[in-house]
Chain A
Amino acid sequence: MQKILSNKKAIALFLFPTMFLMAVFVVVPICMSAYYSLLDWDGIGKGTFIGFQNYIDLIADERFLNSVKNSLLYAACSLLIQLPVSLILAIIVANVRRGEKIYRTTFFIPVIISSVVIGQLWQKIFNGDYGLLNAFLSLLGIPGQDWLGQESTALAAAFIPNLWQYIGYHMLIMYAGIKSISPDINEAARIDGANKVQIAWKITIPLLKPILQVCVTFSLIGALKIFDLIYVLTGGGPFFSTEVPTIYMYKTIFDSFRYGYGSAIAIFVIIECMILTFVLRLFFRDKEKY
Chain B
Amino acid sequence: MKKVMRKVGAMLLAASMTVSLAACGSSKDESGSAKDSDGQITLTIWHQSVADTDPVKKIIEDSVEEYHELHPNITIEQDGVTGEQYKTKIKTAFAAGEAPDISYMFSGGSFVKPYIDASYLLPIDDYVSEDTLNSVLPGMLDGCTFDDKLYTLPTVTFLANLYCNTEMFEDAGAKIPTTWEELLDAIDKLNAAGYTPMILGEKDRWPGMYMYDIISARTAGNAGLEEAFGDPSKFNSKPFIEAAEKLQELVNAGAFNKNMMSMSYDEMVEGFAAGQAAMLYQANWVHPSIQAEDSPTNGKVSCIAFPVIKDGAGSITEFSGGSSDGYYINANCEHPKEAVEYLEYLSKKIGQVGYQQGAGLPCWDTTGVDTSGLTPLDTESAGLMETGTSYISWWDNILSSEDSETYKDLLAQLIGLQITPEQFCESMSKLSPSDFY
Contact = CB atoms under 8 A, between A and B. Distances in A.
Interface residues of A, number: 39
B405 A256 contact: yes
B405 A254 contact: no
A3 B3 CA distance: 9
B70 interface: no
Contacts, number: 98
A149 B114 contact: no
A10 B3 CA distance: 13
A146 B259 contact: yes
A142 to B, nearest CB: 16
Contacts of A256: 401-402, 404-405
A251 B114 contact: no
B120 interface: yes
Interface string A9-35: 010011011001100000000000000
A39 interface: no
Interface residues of B, number: 40
Contacts of B204: 235
A43 B416 contact: no
Contact of A4 (B10, B203, B260, B409): B10
A110 interface: no
B1 interface: no
B109 to A, nearest CB: 14
B14 A14 contact: yes
Contacts of B114: 42, 44-45, 257
B95 interface: yes
Classify the interface of chain A: helix, strand, loop or mixed: loop
Contacts of B412: 237-239
A43 B262 contact: no
Contact of B95 (A17, A43, A237): A43
A239 B91 CA distance: 27
B94 A44 contact: yes
14 contacts: A4-B6, A13-B14, A17-B17, A17-B21, A44-B91, A44-B117, A45-B117, A123-B262, A146-B259, A146-B262, A148-B261, A234-B262, A237-B203, A238-B203
Classify the interface of chain B: helix, strand, loop or mixed: helix
B10 A149 contact: no
A202 to B, nearest CB: 47
Given A46-B118, A150-B261, A235-B203, 7 more contacts: A21-B21, A42-B114, A45-B117, A45-B118, A237-B412, A256-B402, A257-B114
Contact of A148 (B117, B205, B262, B409): B262
B88 A254 contact: yes
A187 interface: no
Contacts of A14: 10, 14
B418 interface: yes
A13 B11 contact: yes
Contacts of A43: 91, 95
Contacts of B401: 42, 255-257
A268 interface: no
A128 B260 CA distance: 9
Interface in A117-160: 123, 126-129, 146-151, 154
